[in-house]
Chain A
Amino acid sequence: MTEPVAEMLSPESLVLANQFLKLFVFVLAGFVGFLVITRVPPLLHTPLMSATNAISAISIVGALVAAGRDHNTVSTVLGFVAVICATINAVGGFIITDRMLRMFKGGGAKK
């Protein structure tokens, strides 16, 4: 156990530092999310949920790489299925959110 640890210490600590940097991004983004989302009125809570769902289809970025980097068949196939799932959410999610939001009409002169 001792030698590999000694051998890997420096790259591993580099990776660790990098992960901490990403933790900053995560915490700050979460904070922004908190500030913005607490201001969303209950009226729009369902569209909010379907919108964040569509946005989380951003996993497609990882799926595309897994499906297209051509390293091994397993990765390609898993990536392929992941691309399908993420595309379903991206396409379906944004369409249905828009469909919902289109229904919310004000009482005034608008259309």
Chain B
Amino acid sequence: MIAAAEGVNLGREAVTLVTYLTASVLFILGLKGLTKAETARRGMQYAALGMLLAVVGTLIKQEIVSYGWIAAGMVIGTIIGWPLGTRVPMTAMPQRIAISHMFGALAATLVGIAEYYTHMRSGIGIPRPIMAALGFEVLFGSLTVTGSFMAFGKLQEILPGRPITYKGQNAVNIGVFFLTILMFAYLIVHPDAQVVFYAMIAVAFVIGISLVLPIGGGDMPVVISLLNSYAGLAASATGFAIDNSLLIIAGALDGASGFILSIIMSKAMNRSFGNVIFGAFGAAPESGTAEVVGEMKEISVEDAALQLAYAQRVIVVPGYGLAVAQAQQVVRELADQVERRGGEVKYAIHPVAGRMPGHMNVLLAEANIPYEKLLDMDEINHEFASTDVAVVIGANDVVNPAARTDKSSPIYGMPILDVDKAKAVFVLKRGKGKGFAGIENALFFGDKTRMIYGDAKGTLSKLVNEMKSV
């Protein structure tokens, strides 16, 4: 907008716009590639090419007059980004994603502040429709910055993973929320109220913190998806503020993706958005849960190995415990042993198993398990009845039959994996404790269920060794 006054070189401007248009198309093609595993890599190469084009198209813009800072920034960014891409282990993927939401949102926020400051300094003033866009940009941006950082802290276990709550928390949150809306409204009417602008950013930082504070580890898939969506919306708002359609399109794609994922995740937990964010699930133990009768029966590794050795159909049910124990390779070895004897092994993946959407799939793919064997809940649930042994590794609430039968249970109605229908169930578990939701799991007390306590990785290696000698 500012450049328009200085006599624009139309040719150059047209080239820039063509690169932006091409980049938009490449981004959409890239996401389309992700609808199939076979085309996904090619798709992302398109998207990366789009990014490169957009950067080149921007660098030739007439507005840009000095390149020193730009070059320095890109070099530093590459030096930091390269190891974040090549070195981070797959087990650390949730926190890796969380921290990158933070970087993305921070970039958008800073661009927003720079834009506002430049307008204020030049004394031209900001038209209200632009101010509205800038407001959305810094709001979504800054709450995503602190929110993602909190999520990162919880996943990296710098912060306690349990929900952190205090009395009157929801009242405080609602208060802060309305304060922000008020400030935003004031800014649209008085765009040059600089104090309000910066104060609003500060308050948005606080919102980000208090949004994620009460969220527990098992709810992380929803929160990470939601933050993904916010980071996209911040980028989109940047496009509105600096008059750039490419930003709007890319941000809208990102926003839509995060939004869809968070809806899928909420549904898989049979809960609403509001419930996840304001509920602090599991913070207060729910009363009225039916007592589970019976006792948990243990089985020795030797007996379990024997039974697995003669099983024809085995389904492995992985949960967050698998990621914690980093046991994905050993799972594969166990499956090899079963398959060596002519048995068949499949994997049942619950949508919210782990700490982010698709977490288990990535881990198992890392262990070279072909993706045809990784099956969604809906694809595999009917197969449990004809399964000889189901092996539950560090999963709890997603296999709790109380979700189907017990109306008083806090997880009643949540879609679960029908592990209890298998002919035999082995549960690998660290101890006798309860799951994330803090409820007893009726599956563990079932007649067909046998418990094997201990670290998942250790137990699995022992099983593998036993099976080799059977």
Report whether chain A binds chain B. yes
Residues on A lying within 8 angstroms of B by beta carbon are 8, 11-12, 15-16, 18-19, 22, 25-27, 29-30, 32-34, 36-72, 74-107
Partner of A92 from the list B73, B82, B250, B349 (CB cut-off 8 Å) is B82
From known contacts A42-B349, A44-B40, infer whether A95 and B371 are also in contact, taking CB-CB under 8 Å.
no
- Chain B residue contacts of A97, Cβ below 8 A: 44
From known contacts A34-B256, A59-B111, A98-B41, infer whether A78 and B70 are also in contact, taking CB-CB under 8 Å.
no
* Pair B114/A19 contact, Cβ less than 8 Å: no
CB distance from A95 to the nearest CB of B (A): 3
* Pair A46/B34 contact, Cβ less than 8 Å: no
* Pair A62/B373 contact, Cβ less than 8 Å: no
Which residue of chain A is the closest to B125 with respect to CB atoms? A8
Which residue of chain B is the closest to A96 with respect to CB atoms? B85
CB distance from A105 to the nearest CB of B (A): 6
Q: Which of B104, B261, B373 is the most central at the interface, judged by chain A CB atoms within 10 Å of its CB? A: B104
Known: A55-B30, A79-B110, A83-B77. 13 other contacts (CB 8 A): A22-B240, A29-B253, A30-B252, A41-B37, A49-B228, A59-B234, A69-B65, A78-B114, A82-B107, A90-B81, A93-B85, A106-B38, A106-B372
* Pair B256/A56 contact, Cβ less than 8 Å: no
| B257 is an interface residue with CB less than 8 A from chain A | yes
* Pair B58/A64 contact, Cβ less than 8 Å: yes
Selecting from B46-54, B269-277, B416-424, B444-452, the interface stretch reads B46-54
* Pair B358/A72 contact, Cβ less than 8 Å: no
Bound-state CA distance A69–B361 (Å) is 45
Chain B binding surface SS class: helix
- Chain B residue contacts of A91, Cβ below 8 A: 77-78, 81-82, 85
- Chain A residue contacts of B239, Cβ below 8 A: 22, 26
Bound-state CA distance A33–B263 (Å) is 15
* Pair B48/A94 contact, Cβ less than 8 Å: yes
* Pair A65/B361 contact, Cβ less than 8 Å: no
* Pair B257/A33 contact, Cβ less than 8 Å: yes
- Chain B residue contacts of A65, Cβ below 8 A: 58, 61, 63-64, 242
Selecting from B115-123, B298-306, B459-467, the interface stretch reads B115-123
- Chain B residue contacts of A85, Cβ below 8 A: 77, 103-104, 106-107, 110
- Chain B residue contacts of A26, Cβ below 8 A: 236, 239-240, 248-249, 251-252
Bound-state CA distance A43–B36 (Å) is 9
* Pair B44/A87 contact, Cβ less than 8 Å: no
* Pair B254/A56 contact, Cβ less than 8 Å: yes
Q: Which of A61, A62, A66, A83 is the most central at the interface, judged by chain B CB atoms within 10 Å of its CB? A: A61
Top 5 A-B pairs, shortest CB-CB distance: A87-B77, A95-B85, A83-B73, A45-B358, A107-B370
CB distance from B125 to the nearest CB of A (A): 8
From known contacts A64-B58, A100-B362, infer whether A87 and B114 are also in contact, taking CB-CB under 8 Å.
no
Bound-state CA distance A92–B122 (Å) is 36
* Pair B117/A102 contact, Cβ less than 8 Å: no
Bound-state CA distance A84–B129 (Å) is 29
Q: Which of B20, B32, B51 is the most central at the interface, judged by chain A CB atoms within 10 Å of its CB? A: B51
* Pair B73/A80 contact, Cβ less than 8 Å: yes
* Pair B96/A96 contact, Cβ less than 8 Å: yes
* Pair A48/B110 contact, Cβ less than 8 Å: no
CB distance from B263 to the nearest CB of A (A): 10
Bound-state CA distance A81–B96 (Å) is 20
| B404 is an interface residue with CB less than 8 A from chain A | no
Give the size of the chain B interface in residues (CB under 8 angstroms): 122
* Pair A56/B235 contact, Cβ less than 8 Å: yes
* Pair A90/B261 contact, Cβ less than 8 Å: no
* Pair B100/A89 contact, Cβ less than 8 Å: yes
From known contacts A63-B110, A66-B111, A105-B370, infer whether A58 and B37 are also in contact, taking CB-CB under 8 Å.
no
* Pair B82/A70 contact, Cβ less than 8 Å: no
Bound-state CA distance A101–B35 (Å) is 12
| B220 is an interface residue with CB less than 8 A from chain A | no
Q: Which of A41, A82, A85, A93 is the most central at the interface, judged by chain B CB atoms within 10 Å of its CB? A: A85
Which residue of chain B is the closest to A46 with respect to CB atoms? B358
From known contacts A52-B31, A96-B96, infer whether A46 and B359 are also in contact, taking CB-CB under 8 Å.
yes
| B366 is an interface residue with CB less than 8 A from chain A | yes
Between A and B, 11 residue pairs with Cβ closer than 8 Å are A15-B130, A33-B252, A46-B356, A46-B358, A52-B257, A54-B48, A70-B66, A74-B118, A81-B73, A81-B110, A105-B371
Partner of A19 from the list B97, B101, B240 (CB cut-off 8 Å) is B240
Partner of A82 from the list B101, B114, B250, B376 (CB cut-off 8 Å) is B114
Question: Which residues of B in the span 253-269 have a Cβ within 8 Å of any Cβ on A?
Answer: 253-258, 260-261, 264
CB distance from A47 to the nearest CB of B (A): 6
| B357 is an interface residue with CB less than 8 A from chain A | yes
* Pair A41/B35 contact, Cβ less than 8 Å: yes
| B113 is an interface residue with CB less than 8 A from chain A | yes
